[in-house]
Amino acid sequence: MANHHYDVVVVGASFGGVAAALAAAADPNVNVALLEATDWIGGQATSQGVSRWDEASVHLLQTMAFRGNGVMRSEDDEIARLRRELKRVTDERDFLKKTAAYFAKESR
At residue 106, the pLDDT reads 72
* pLDDT tens column, 6-59: 899 999 888 888 888 888 888 888 889 888 887 777 766 655 555 555 555 555
Q: How far is 86 from 95, CA to CA, in rounded Å?
A: 14
**pLDDT computed for residue 47 by the predictor:** 56
5, 33 in Cβ contact below 8 A?
no
Q: What is the pLDDT of residues 51-104, one digit of tens each?
A: 555 555 555 655 544 555 555 567 878 888 899 999 999 999 988 888 888 888
Measure CA 48 to chain center. Answer: 19
pTM for the predicted model, two decimal places: 0.43
For residue 71, the model assigns a pLDDT of 54
Element (H, E) at 11: strand 8-11
Q: Please give the pLDDT value at position 7.
A: 92
Spell out a b/e string for 64-98, using b for 16 or more CB atoms within 10 Å of the CB, else e: ebbbbeeebeeeeeeeeeeeeeeeeeeeeeeeeee
